Amino acid sequence: MTFPETLASWLRHDMGLIPVERHRPWSRFEVSEAQWWRLMEAMEVSRWSLLGLWAEPERVYLALRDDTDEDIAVVSLLCSEGRFPAVSVVRPAAQRLERAIHDLFGLEAVGLTDSRPWLDHGVWKGSRPLAAVPGPAVRRSYAFLPVEGEGLHQIPVGPVHAGIIEPGHFRFHANGEAVVRLEERLGYVHKGIEGLMQGRSVFDAARLAARISGDSTVAYGFAFARAVEAALGFEAPPRAVWLRALMAEMERLANHLGDIGSICNDAAFPVLLTRCHALREQVARTAVACFGHRLMMDRIVPGGVAVDLTPDGAERIRRLGTEIKGAFAIVMEIYDNRNSLLDRMVGTGVIGSHLVHRFGAGGFVGRAAMRDFDARRTPSYPPYDDLDFIVPVLEGGDVNARVGVRREEIKESLKLMAVILDRLPEGPVLEPVPGTGGEGMALVEGFRGEILVWVRLAADGTILRCHARDPSWFQWPLLEAAIEGNIVADFPLCNKSFNCSYSGHDL
Amino acid sequence: MTVSGLLSVGLLAQIVQAILVLALAPALTGLVRLLKARLQGRRGASLVQPYRDLACLLRKDVVIAENASWLFQAIPYIVFTMIWFAAVLVPTFTTVLLLGPTADLIALVAFLGSVRFFMALAGMDTGTSFGGLGASREVMIGSLAEPAVLMVIFTVALVAHSTSLIDVAEYLTGTDVGIRVSLLMALLAMVMVAIAENARIPVDNPTTHLELTMVHEAMILEYSGRHLALIEAAAMVKLLLYISLILCMFVPFGIGTRADGFAGIGLGLVVYLGKLMGGAVILAVFESSIAKMRVFRVGEFLGGALLLGVLAMIYLYISWAV
């Protein structure tokens, strides 16, 4: 088989497919099982990265992005017999998504090597809750992957941790201090978001979307609103578009500040923790003064933004930018000059560039290991298509590189905030959205990476199906790789440098 | 002073010291915490907080793992008693102590070694992975720290011609020793060991919530209620003990000796409190200026302490030969 051409031309010309109607902004192609197989063969030799894999009771959807021409396409398959050929055979990052699809919809991925449940821990009242016909509850024991060898022992960690963090279980196989294998088990904060979304108005559903992962509430609100607006063929008013970006940058700034402090604290250097968290607090206080909520939750709604910037808001945010710029420079000077701290950061938790590309990991995890991808630049969306900014890409792949990407992004976000304020257009911030049907998809860069939201609206404007794919889906598996060859005691540092979302992943 | 007078003063001083170390230890820990908080830009809890914490723990119920043996319940009492007794032996504000003649450096090291042994046993007793993890790290640190301590003791003992702490303190205060390179090196080695032994940064982090990085805290994760209170109190007394030990071995100046009389002993108390505060400040500043090292770097750190101890001894012989 020859190297296939671009994704779009391959789907349209080689396969002779015609996109289905009303799927915006990217095309969706309905394929047969034989065509799905051919697609997989093509994926094996192509640079089409996985963006998402989700399901409906009788259909699976696969979103792909062509890394060569940055085109995006969705492919769907009707699973009349409750089965579909596994994508994980060619894209290992799909493995957990397929396990989750099986738990929620009962659709079986043929060829999936790991048949253990993922989100369903055997404590639900039933099984496959989102399938057309839900099943009875199934109790199963969960077998962790075996490790054999002399002197090996297990260390179970979590899901309840000593600190105030989200729940997740980590099973270490270690030989003394050296980690032989780390296996994650997630799903403890499954809330059934996808099920809850069904049948709700877009405004109710937007409130749910904003609560998928609290630290990324702006990004989720942004992505959901954009997906709904895409489905309806609606453009938000210009001022709202720019205000959304302003909030998104403030959220990115706050989270990166918090992360850098927390990473330093995990190396037992709390001086930077308190400094960084004080700065993060300043952002939150500015947010409440400007938008009425510390995390700016529920400020972005389909149709625009719920509140306009307060009259003195622009001035406050400018002042915040100046203050943080100076204070953050001092923080990073301390960081750079502390050998004992750098000794912990440099060379710890390295992930190779090939793995990052293989799993399609976005955000700072990908960019710290040479994966130059930022949804704000490609495929881009307003107002970022009209803004100049640098996407930092480093090659270390270690904890220090992940801190490095964050620190550059903080500087860029500060610049972007100032530019957005300068160019903020006048006008209304909210317009009523039409109540019609359609399918829409959006890709928005949150602080962790790109968030994908896909919606299907009924003719009356309510949600038929909504799927949100957190960037953490493609980052969690890499954490298992990052800890390889490290020692048990360095795991918290690696974990914090990833700072994956539990809530966004468990849905 | 007469012999009987000396004995009664010794007895009185001994009782005062026994109460003093116990009463002061939480305040010392509280002071270090407060100073660290201030250095981090936080307000920090008051000096009284460690007392409140201990009182709170003492009131709480004890939860014991089902598979814990009698050792698990006995060890907090053993550990607390041993540490307290060791702290009672080390001359703090006066060398006129009834139990002074028993304050032998090598005996003290044996005492602290036994405490570690019991703590490691307690860590492994419940069979949890964290207990074992902490115990294995603790024993690794201990096996590296003890040789360094012995080198320091030999150096000091060679200078003072005795392993008795009283003799060491009186020798250093009484004679014009001057600044000796070997004593300085021994001091450095001893400080490094004390940092490791007391689970301070950069070897361990006493305030961490990360189970996987803990050493001391991992061993005691299963303890609760009064058992935990005893172990926490023992850790506080241990910190005081190490600072007192360093003060007594290297900077005993101002300590009340037989020749000073009552006034001198009273003054010794004031000087001791001042020195203790100085120690707390130095510890807090040091801990705030450095990140924790990787677990396996502890070997290099304590290897450095051992090297300093050995060099201290060698320099001592060289200076005698010259």
Separation CA B244–CA B251 (nearest Å): 10
Q: In what order do the strands lie in the sheet with A450-457?
A: A23-24, A438-445, A450-457, A463-469
Q: Do A156 and B294 touch (CB under 8 A)?
A: no
Residues 251-290 of A with CB under 8 A from B: 264, 266-271, 273-275, 278
Tokens of B208: 């961490």
- Of B179, B319, B149, B166, nearest to B257 by C-alpha is B166
Provide the pLDDT for residue A149.
87
- Of A335, A459, A477, A346, nearest to A399 by C-alpha is A346
What tens digit of pLDDT does each residue of A132-179 get? 899 998 888 899 998 888 888 888 888 988 777 889 999 999 888 889
Contacts of B300 in chain A (CB under 8 A): none
- Of A442, A441, A447, A246, nearest to A362 by C-alpha is A447
Separation CA B246–CA B242 (nearest Å): 6
Residue positions counted in chain B: 322
Average pLDDT rounded to a whole number, residues A44-58:
92
Question: A333 pLDDT exceeds 50?
Answer: yes
Evaluate whether ipTM surpasses 0.95.
no
What tens digit of pLDDT does each residue of B225-255 get? 999 999 999 999 999 999 999 999 999 888 8
What tens digit of pLDDT does each residue of A411-440 get? 999 999 999 999 999 999 999 988 888 999
pLDDT band, very low/low/confident/very high, at A4 (cuts 50, 70, 90): low
Question: B12 pLDDT exceeds 50?
Answer: yes
* H/E segment holding residue A454: strand A450-457
Ordered domains of chain A (ranges, CATH):
7-129 (3.30.460.80), 193-506 (1.10.645.10)
pLDDT band, very low/low/confident/very high, at A1 (cuts 50, 70, 90): very low
* H/E segment holding residue A54: strand A48-56
pLDDT band, very low/low/confident/very high, at B179 (cuts 50, 70, 90): low
What tens digit of pLDDT does each residue of B255-279 get? 888 777 788 888 999 999 999 999 9
Q: Token match 């192509």: residue?
A: A46
Task: Give CA separation, B100 vs A105, A380, B17, B21, B104, in Å.
Answer: 77, 78, 12, 16, 9
pLDDT band, very low/low/confident/very high, at A52 (cuts 50, 70, 90): very high
pLDDT band, very low/low/confident/very high, at B173 (cuts 50, 70, 90): confident
**CA angle (B244 as vertex; B243, B250 as ends), nearest 5:** 90
Tokens of B204: 């361990």
Q: Which of A316-320, A467-471, B159-163 has the lowest mean pLDDT?
A: B159-163
Contacts of A330 in chain B (CB under 8 A): none
- Of A33, A118, A28, A104, nearest to A73 by C-alpha is A28
Can you tell me whether residue B92 is helix, strand or coil? coil
What tens digit of pLDDT does each residue of A227-251 get? 999 999 999 999 999 999 999 999 9
Q: Do A344 and B40 touch (CB under 8 A)?
A: no
Q: Are A244 and A303 in contact (CB under 8 A)?
A: no
**CA angle (A378 as vertex; A451, A246 as ends), nearest 5:** 65
Average pLDDT rounded to a whole number, residues A268-281:
93
Provide the pLDDT for residue B264.
85
pLDDT band, very low/low/confident/very high, at A264 (cuts 50, 70, 90): very high
Provide the pLDDT for residue B1.
56
Q: Which of A100-114, A162-176, B35-49, B224-238 has the lowest mean pLDDT?
A: A162-176
Burial letters A43-82, b for 16+ CB under 10 A, else e: beebebbbbbbbbbbebbbbbbbbbeeebbbbbbbebeee
- Residues contacting residue B37 through CB under 8 Å, at least 6 positions apart: B43, B44, B45
Tokens of B113: 């070694």
**CA angle (A296 as vertex; A292, A297 as ends), nearest 5:** 110
Q: Are A332 and A276 in contact (CB under 8 A)?
A: no
Provide the pLDDT for residue A253.
96
Q: How far is A106 from chain B (nearest CA, A)?
A: 36
Instruction: Please provide the average confidence, as pLDDT, over all residues in chain A.
Output: 92
Can you tell me whether residue A28 is helix, strand or coil? strand
What is this structure's pTM? 0.90
Q: Do A268 and B209 touch (CB under 8 A)?
A: no
**CA angle (A163 as vertex; A159, A164 as ends), nearest 5:** 85
Q: Do A344 and B292 touch (CB under 8 A)?
A: yes
Task: Give CA separation, A323 vs A277, A318, A326, in Å.
Answer: 14, 9, 6
Q: Do A177 and B296 touch (CB under 8 A)?
A: yes
What tens digit of pLDDT does each residue of A178-211 get? 899 999 999 999 999 999 999 999 999 999 999 9
| Among chain B residues, CA nearest to A272 | B40
Q: Are A453 and A223 in contact (CB under 8 A)?
A: yes
**Strand A135-136 versus strand A153-157 pairing type:** unpaired
Q: Do A157 and B212 touch (CB under 8 A)?
A: yes
- Of A504, A486, A432, A499, nearest to A461 by C-alpha is A432
- Of A220, A236, A239, nearest to A298 by C-alpha is A220
